[in-house]
Structure 1
Amino acid sequence: MNSIALSSIFVVLSIVAIIYLTARLKFSVFGSLFAVSLGLALVTNIPFEKIVDLMKSSFGSTLGNISFIIIFGAAIAVCMEKSGGALSIATHILAKSGKNNAKPAMAATGFIPGLTIFCDTGYIILSGVARSISAQSRTPMPLMAAILGTSLYSVHCLVPTHPGALAAASALDANLGYFILAGVVFAVPGLVAAYLWAGWMSKGQDYAPAVEEEAFASDKALPRFSHALLPVVLPLILISISTLATTMGYKEGFAKALHFFGNPVIALLMGMLAGIWLLKNNGGRKGDFNNVLEEAIMKAGPILIITGAGGMFGAIIRETGVGSALGDALGGASVGLFIPFIIAALLKTAQGSSTVAALTTAAIISPSLATFGLDSDLGRLFAVLAIGAGSIVASHANDSYFWVVTKFSNIEMQESLRVFTSSTVVMGLVSFACIWAASLVML
């Protein structure tokens, strides 16, 4: 058995070990990634004197690429929560739609704030709205939970203002501006499919609407809808303008300022400042800036550590040469997109974390992009989109988000598995089908 074949076996075993340690034994994700990375480096052909330096440099470089973005994104989420901005967006949409359109309104309510808010944070913030609308419209709560849960989850996995998608884009050197736009586009058909599937899975079931609870804050207690949108939309606009300028060939003169403010770090910084302004305009107090940053750092800290460890694990895998060997064995762009989707879907379903699934998949396929016919700007874009779609499949009992959706909706586990979990499977499959169909035309 040659060294590449042996290394391939060790890589597979290392992935299985991470799944077993985190999903079955409930070990720390960071501890599992660190231990398995070190173990993989020791049993493969990486020189002893290189191992520690490789682990340190890869951990640090991963954090250097995404740490500011994650911290500022977390700060926006804190501001939206404390100011009532997310609730303002929700109540405005629901007031415009009416009770008869409660379900599509709920989908829109999750989709818009979900562009920058982590899905679990967004669900916690909006779960009270979902229960209230379920009670008022007599919509079964498991259905309402699935609609809100998938609307937040679709963009969480496909838009790189979130850690998994961002880390995969960084690992594959994909254009973030294009990825944001394409991620939003491909999240829509997946969400529509999940919406229809959740409705079908709820038919004929004796699912009750939520019990009427105390009403959420009145419109007067919330920021204006247009103001609440600013922290969410501003970063997306700045990045999109920079991408458009690049596409049109504008790189010098005034375009330099556009590219500066369109850099994801600066764009999210502007979004955070808009969130601080929103918070101050809605009952904020002196010291809010410091408080928001401190809370954002506390929220972002665990994500940063896990992301850095995932990058370290990916660097060890790349050093083994297994990815290149996999590419040689599975060449062809038509096959190539299926590989990241399947790997990400298997990892996500097995160990529960979309971020770990996206990071690990990106590390595995990164050396193989040229062999797959994906070593171009568009090819890298479609590769990260395929990873994002795979990391949607499937949210179930080993995923913390599954329990957020279930517990904050006050529904039973089997109801959540039937409606919400099955909807995430459909959403991932339909999103990938659209991505693959588009690649046939554009690649």
Structure 2
Amino acid sequence: MSTLALLGIGAGSIALLLLLIIRWQVHAFVAMMLVSFLVAFATGMPIGDIISTLIAGMGGTLGSVAILVALGSMLGRMIEVSGGAASLANRFTQLLGPTRVPMALTAAALVLAIPVFFDVGFIILVPIVYGFCKAAGVNPIKFGLPVAGIMLAAHVVVPPHPGIVGGAAIVKGDIGWITIIGLAICIPLAALAQVVAGWLNRKGYPMLPTTAEQFAAFGNSEDSAASKARSAPSVGTIMALILIPLALIMAGTTGATLLPKGDSLRNVLGFIGSPIFALMVAVGLAMYLLGRNQGWNRERTNAIMESALPPAATVILVTGAGGVFAKVLTASGIGAALSQSLTATHLPLILLAFIISLALRAAQGSATVAIITTCGLLADAMAGGGYSPLQVALLTVAIGFGSLGLSHVNDSGFWIVTRYLGLSVGDGLRTWTVLTTVLGLAGFALTALLWVLVA
């Protein structure tokens, strides 16, 4: 089949996928599986190979993603239920002082966003944001907007979140390098979120009536927060649960970079630095430390961990379906055709990665779908470009930042943020959409700078 025909099928498959998800409200898992079948038939893939190709795509992706997402969800759920999020936010506020409450909440949000999914983490912090805003006599958007912005930035580029982990599995990106790069860039983005949110808040925004009523009824928030803080785990415990797995992963990456292949120390560091082992250690510590602090028995601990799995199951299935779609794109020759066409444009691959991801994010709303689909489209170009592990990680992070921008009405996160902060749709577009786009562009700019430095 000609290159033009393959590219046409590829473009048509993306358009159909978007129509199914956006226009006809088909579940993302079903939509991607259906489109994968149609692409396989349209490109003339032998009928005896179709099912095996789909199974290989699902298995190859879930082999790493399912375990990481499940463990990350369990860790985040235990931190949530124990009151560790409130403890973390209150401690950061004490350290930075009451005049720097927005900065303290944003810093706490960045740390909390590493193990906790965006929507869950933001909802956990909403009562804390309300409490501090009520004490300061300001609109919740003043403190809540930068908190939400940095949490979403971490969600799209820092493992173990599903989009970036699934994308890394497709392009064979190194999770350690992706973690290091993603966290390093999110730190200055946290400061930028403060600046941009402050500029956006230079004018007042009226609260929606329902949110205003909810905010007004939040009368005992300070006493409640203090009560929870007394029984919550210490901030040192929460920080340890977050930083220990990160330290293990970074140790494995450092060993793989500095030590020769076959070195026994490199093998040991590679084992303890594998994301699965690192998260297993964190979950085990959380079971002991948080369970002891809260007085959970074994049944209670197991129930809390199990409650994290139903939401994670949907994420895992969607991520796996993204792997199926990516596998079909590769096996059908569409990926190779796109790779050749992109090479002919002479545009930098890192720029194309960002633009494609941003376009998909704007079109269908899901950051996870945008990351995984873009990685599937560019997998051949990345594999055949002779890129180093560090460069592949930078390309993957660029895709992640593409999925950060242009959050609007087709994104569930848009509605979570605007409703809890009391913003109308128009005001949400003027604030939240602008903030996510600025953070996405800035994150990509820093990623591109690192790309130039290591090229």
Q: Which TM class, normalised by the smaller chain length?
A: over 0.9
**2:229 maps to 1:217:** no
Letter in 1 for 2:82: S
Report the Cα offset of residue 333 of structure 1: 8.0
Paired residues of 1:142 and 1:419 also in contact (CA < 8 A): no
Q: In the alignment, what sits opposite 1:326?
A: 338
Q: Is 99-108 or 317-326 further displaced after alignment?
A: 317-326
Paired residues of 1:141 and 1:409 also in contact (CA < 8 A): yes
Report the Cα offset of residue 4 of structure 1: 2.3
Measured in 1, the distance between the counterparts of 2:96 and 2:127 equals 18
Letter in 1 for 2:235: F
TM-aligned CA distance change 1:405 to 1:262, over 3 Å: same
Between the two proteins, the alignment pairs up a number of residues equal to 441
Letter in 2 for 1:117: V
TM-aligned CA distance change 1:21 to 1:99, over 3 Å: same
Measured in 2, the distance between the counterparts of 1:143 and 1:349 equals 25
Superposed CA RMSD in Å reads 1.9
Report the Cα offset of residue 137 of structure 1: 2.2
Which of 418, 439, 442 is residue 406 of structure 1 equivalent to? 418
Give identity over the alignment, percent.
27
Letter in 2 for 1:358: I
Measured in 2, the distance between the counterparts of 1:3 and 1:289 equals 57
Letter in 2 for 1:405: V
Paired residues of 1:189 and 1:430 also in contact (CA < 8 A): no
Measured in 1, the distance between the counterparts of 2:270 and 2:331 equals 34
Report the Cα offset of residue 261 of structure 1: 1.8
**2:378 maps to 1:365:** yes
Q: In the alignment, what sits opposite 2:365?
A: 352
TM-score for both structures, normalised by structure 1? 0.94
Measured in 2, the distance between the counterparts of 1:253 and 1:313 equals 38
Q: In the alignment, what sits opposite 2:150?
A: 151
TM-aligned CA distance change 1:123 to 1:4, over 3 Å: same
**2:247 maps to 1:237:** yes
Which of 336, 341, 354 is residue 349 of structure 2 equivalent to? 336
Report SS of the residue matched to 1:129: helix
Paired residues of 1:195 and 1:423 also in contact (CA < 8 A): no
Q: Is 137-146 or 396-405 further displaced after alignment?
A: 137-146
Report the Cα offset of residue 255 of structure 1: 4.4
Measured in 2, the distance between the counterparts of 1:322 and 1:176 equals 26
Deviations 1:157-209 (A, max 9, x none): 11121111111111111111111011111223333333322211221234569
Measured in 1, the distance between the counterparts of 2:145 and 2:15 equals 30
Paired residues of 2:22 and 2:364 also in contact (CA < 8 A): yes
**2:182 maps to 1:178:** no
Measured in 2, the distance between the counterparts of 1:377 and 1:258 equals 17
Alignment of 1:27-426 (within 5 A): 27-207=26-206, 211=216, 212-215=218-221, 216-218=224-226, 219-249=229-259, 252-280=263-291, 281-331=293-343, 335-369=348-382, 373=385, 375-426=387-438
Report the Cα offset of residue 388 of structure 1: 0.8
Report SS of the residue matched to 2:348: helix
Deviations 1:291-323 (A, max 9, x none): 133222212110111111110011111122222
Deviations 1:333-371 (A, max 9, x none): 861111110111111111111111110000100101256
Q: Is 90-99 or 348-357 further displaced after alignment?
A: 90-99
TM-aligned CA distance change 1:127 to 1:333, over 3 Å: farther
Measured in 2, the distance between the counterparts of 1:231 and 1:288 equals 19
Q: Is 222-231 or 351-360 further displaced after alignment?
A: 222-231
TM-aligned CA distance change 1:349 to 1:85, over 3 Å: same
Paired residues of 1:131 and 1:141 also in contact (CA < 8 A): yes
Letter in 2 for 1:177: G
Report the Cα offset of residue 374 of structure 1: 5.6
Letter in 2 for 1:278: L
TM-aligned CA distance change 1:106 to 1:374, over 3 Å: farther
Paired residues of 1:102 and 1:137 also in contact (CA < 8 A): no
Report SS of the residue matched to 1:369: helix
Q: Is 111-120 or 218-227 further displaced after alignment?
A: 218-227
Letter in 2 for 1:316: V
Report the Cα offset of residue 434 of structure 1: 1.1
Paired residues of 2:189 and 2:443 also in contact (CA < 8 A): yes
Q: Is 406-415 or 64-73 further displaced after alignment?
A: 406-415
Measured in 2, the distance between the counterparts of 1:292 and 1:29 equals 27
Measured in 2, the distance between the counterparts of 1:142 and 1:416 equals 10
Letter in 2 for 1:399: D
TM-score for both structures, normalised by structure 2? 0.92
Measured in 2, the distance between the counterparts of 1:87 and 1:374 equals 46
Measured in 2, the distance between the counterparts of 1:141 and 1:297 equals 31
Measured in 1, the distance between the counterparts of 2:386 and 2:373 equals 18
Q: Is 181-190 or 26-35 further displaced after alignment?
A: 181-190
Measured in 1, the distance between the counterparts of 2:442 and 2:386 equals 21
Measured in 2, the distance between the counterparts of 1:350 and 1:283 equals 47
Measured in 2, the distance between the counterparts of 1:53 and 1:203 equals 57
TM-aligned CA distance change 1:439 to 1:334, over 3 Å: farther
Measured in 1, the distance between the counterparts of 2:201 and 2:421 equals 15
Measured in 1, the distance between the counterparts of 2:84 and 2:439 equals 27
Paired residues of 1:142 and 1:415 also in contact (CA < 8 A): no
TM-aligned CA distance change 1:141 to 1:414, over 3 Å: farther
Letter in 1 for 2:288: W
Deviations 1:51-71 (A, max 9, x none): 111111211221112111110
Measured in 2, the distance between the counterparts of 1:137 and 1:418 equals 24
Paired residues of 1:69 and 1:268 also in contact (CA < 8 A): yes
Letter in 1 for 2:390: L
Structure 2: stretches of 5+ with no match in the other structure: none
